[in-house]
Chain A
């Protein structure tokens, strides 16, 4: 196998708490993600999933350990890694179209070309008619579609998604999971996807990394060997899918029990 897209070695993060103590958020995490792979980080809230993702994004510096992307050490954010946040983080003073064009303009793409590409992406996420709307005029699901389009626009090799559908209602979440999977199955970007939803992780991923809490360590890595393209209705009656769900639910339950016992 060639060099991994993302290599995380001995990654550790300590935060100083308000009372001056050190809180070990991430402890000695080792993961490799291959090019084109869809990997989920699954764990209960507070186990350090976001912190892990932010460190890969270069937004937060590790306390120890190393992260390399395509063999180059991560020293800060870069357009090779496109983040999608749970809170959407759209620029509220820009229209939908301007938001999606922003990264391209930032990289020196001409206005005409940036607009053409942005419009194509908006079409893909079914927001063609909302190009001139402002974020505040959109629903949560629409905002997250814009955010995904904005990140896809500057063509990062890696998508870093932090519970992107966590703030949405169940129905919208399902719709967006399907859309994301559709997009991904077409161009097979490398995706690191943080979630606390077992179904979501199994439905989307090639591999699921289960984390423990306080400190955040890797409990187990589960390979999801299910055929693609995946169709939800078919998976629900798929025996192997059900077994993955049960296995991961069990692991998450263990994590909770360990945390309670500790």
Chain B
């Protein structure tokens, strides 16, 4: 009985704090009486309407697909680059200044330039998501590979393990907790960049839905879209966190607490 309650603990507190947020929103909106700030109830009724429409579902699906593509590309590119930097001083010295300079640049701000080269279509958006996800992923992979315990490598060497095998069998698993931390930051980043890219290149996608509603002063729809995006972020993070725990259950727990993504 008691353990069942305790098991419910985190889920219950999540529901509770979200509920409190909604109540607060409702009260503030009713008090404020501003057009651009509809009460929670008015926004929430729009959610099933939006999700019931084939077109908006397709739009959101297209956004998520681009996000997935950008993220997958970043994974294939950023993890090897980060690991290489972590294991090789020269590579690190060459790339570190580039990283440091690129990190604080809002990736969505590059969107207009990228659009000049690749047009307003999917390619530009996927590219800008790729950029946004790559940086935190490189950074965390670099950190993880750099911190690999030398004695683990030595132990493997003494067993006769060759350099390439050591990269996959020692460096990669050692760095995995950090790589996955980078993935989680990257996930938040991907969502942010996804929306901002669609805000700039208005053509399709969840961001386009949101800003169209804004243009037409459909504030209920605007807030409903924000709620939908928040829910998507929440679900993706929850799923990812379960996967992450599964993959690195063996790791000594450090500060497992999470940092949200840095700049946009």
**Do A and B associate with each other?**
yes
Chain A interface (Cβ < 8 Å from any Cβ of B): 54, 57-59, 76-79, 81-83, 85, 87, 89, 91-94, 102-103, 106-107, 134-136, 150-151, 154, 156
Whether A87 and B149, one on each chain, are in contact in the complex, defined by CB atoms closer than 8 angstroms, is yes
Per-residue CB contact flags for chain B residues 136-171 toward chain A (1 = under 8 Å, else 0) read 000000000000010110111111110000000010
Indicate if the CB atoms of A89 and B160 lie closer than 8 Å.
Answer: no
CA of A58 to CA of B157, assembled, Å: 10
A-B contact pairs, 19 of them (CB 8 A): A57-B154, A57-B158, A83-B155, A85-B154, A89-B152, A91-B170, A93-B173, A94-B250, A102-B159, A103-B160, A106-B156, A106-B159, A135-B250, A136-B250, A136-B252, A150-B155, A151-B158, A154-B159, A156-B158
Query: Which residue from chain B places its CB closest to the CB of A81 in the assembled complex?
Result: B158
Is B181 interfacial (CB-CB < 8 Å)? no
Cβ distance B3 to chain A, nearest Cβ, rounded Å: 22
Which one of A54, A59, A78 contacts B160 once the chains associate, using CB atoms below 8 Å?
A: A78
Question: Inside 8 A of A58's CB, which chain B residues have their CB?
Answer: 157
Contacts A87-B149, A87-B151, A91-B170 known; 4 new A-B pairs at CB < 8 A: A83-B155, A103-B159, A103-B160, A136-B252
Contact yes or no, A92 B252, CB < 8 A: yes
Q: Does A77 contact B149, Cβ atoms closer than 8 Å?
A: no
Q: Which residues of B contact A81 (CB under 8 A)?
A: 158
Q: What separation, in Å, do the CA atoms of A156 and B155 have in the docked complex? A: 12
Contacts of A83 in B (CB 8 A): 151, 154-155, 158
Count contacts on B: residues with CB < 8 A to the other chain.
Answer: 19
Q: Which residues 231-264 of B have a CB within 8 angstroms of A?
A: 248-252
Contacts A85-B151, A87-B149, A87-B151 given; indicate if A92 touches B251 (C-beta within 8 A).
Answer: yes
Once the chains bind, are B161 and A106 in contact (CB under 8 Å)? yes
Closest to A99 in B: B155
Given A59-B154, A87-B151, A106 contacting B160 (CB threshold 8 A): yes
Please measure, in the bound complex, the distance between the C-alpha atom of A91 and the C-alpha atom of B170, giving whole angstroms: 8
Check A76 against B157 for contact (C-beta < 8 Å). Answer: yes
Nearest chain A CB to B172 CB, angstrom units = 10
Query: Would you call B176 an interface residue if the criterion is a C-beta within 8 Å of the partner chain's C-beta atoms?
Result: yes
Query: In the complex, which of the residues B158, B176, B249, B250 contacts A77, with contact meaning CB atoms closer than 8 Å?
Result: B158
* Residue numbers in A under 8 Å from B152 (CB-CB): 89, 91
Complex-state Cα separation, A136 to B249, whole angstroms: 10
Chain A residue with the shortest CB-CB distance to B150: A59
Chain B contacts for A79, CB-based, 8 A: 158-160
**Residues in B whose Cβ lies below 8 Å from that of A76:** 157
- Cβ–Cβ < 8 Å partners of B170 in chain A: 91
Residues of A within 8 A of B249 (CB): 134
In the complex, the chain A residue whose C-beta lies closest to that of B176 is A93
List A contacts of B176 (CB < 8 A).
93
Q: Please, which residue of chain A has its CB at the minimum distance from the CB of B157? A: A77
Q: Given contacts A85-B151, A91-B170, is CB(A134)–CB(B160) below 8 Å?
A: no
- Which has the most chain B C-beta neighbours within 10 Å: A82, A91, A134, A136? A91
Bound Cα distance A58, B173 (Å)? 24
- B165: nearest residue on chain A (CB-CB)? A106
Q: Is B157 touching A59 in the complex (CB atoms < 8 A)?
A: yes
Write the B163-191 contact mask toward A (1 if CB under 8 angstroms, else 0): 00000001001001000000000000000
Residue contact A107 to B159, C-beta cutoff 8 Å: yes
Instruction: Knowing A136-B250, A136-B251, A136-B252 are in contact, say whether A89-B161 is a contact too (CB < 8 A).
Output: no
A91 touches B161 (CB 8 A): no
A77 to B189, CA, bound (A): 43
CA distance A154 to B160 in the complex (A): 10
